Every structure is written in C-alpha cells, then in structure tokens.
Amino acid sequence: ASVSALAPICRPTQCPWGQKAFPAYMGSVEAGEPHDASLLLEKRSTPIVEYDTILVDVGTNDSFLKEQLKCEELVKAAEKSGQRVDLNMRDGFDHSYHFVAAFIEDHVKFH
C-alpha cells in the first residue's frame, strides 16, 4: 500500500477551508477530525506499517501553502509518530495545473 498527495490540505481542522467545509457537510469541525491526516498521525505512537513512506509535493509559490495546506503540520505529526514523509517543496511552482502536470508521473511511479 502507498499514499501520496499533490498540494494536500494537511490539517483541515485548523485551516479556513476545513473550518468552513466540515460544519457545512458534517455538522461540525470536530466531525472532520477522522479525516485530518495530521491529527491522525499525531495521535499515533508508531508509524503506519503499511505505508513505508508518504510522498507529498507542494509548490513553494503556492498561495495556499501557509494558511490552507499546512504541510509543515503533517511533517511534525509524522515525526512524532515515526512515520516517514517525503515532503518535496517544488521551487517556483504554485497551485496550478502545471504543478500537477509536472509531478504526477513521480506519484504514479511511487505507487
């Protein structure tokens, strides 16, 4: 089994998009906690053995990086649980189709 993501929302319970979406679709932000990857890893004391490495790519020029995506939260949570995360900060890329097109092959090969 493997997990990878391109420009993921890594801490949706702590970002404006998630704080708007979870109440609208699930009734509350708390109801979204089982879908928050960073929170799930943070609660673990061991890595998820089925996933040797989690691959994440995000652009350094992504306007959503700090406020919405919060990739650093995933890395912190992974370190706490011992889960390996390869976070690739792609220089000069934003949150566009061109970013996905540039790195999707890496993710297909990863799986």
Could you give the C-alpha distances from 14 to 30, 40, 68, in angstroms and in order? 11, 13, 8
Residue-number span of the structural domain to which 99 is assigned: 3-110
Spacing of C-alpha 5 from chain mean position: 7
Buried b (16+ CB within 10 A) or exposed e, 3-36: bbbbbbbbbbbbbeebeebbeeeeeebeebeeeb
Q: pLDDT at position 1, please?
A: 86
Q: How many domains does one find in the chain?
A: 1
Q: pLDDT at position 66, please?
A: 97
Residue ranges in the chain modelled with pLDDT below 70: none
Q: And the tokens for 83?
A: 């889960």
What CATH number is given to the structural domain containing 36? 3.40.50.1820
Q: pLDDT at position 75, please?
A: 97
pLDDT in tens, 46-71: 999 899 999 999 999 999 999 999 99
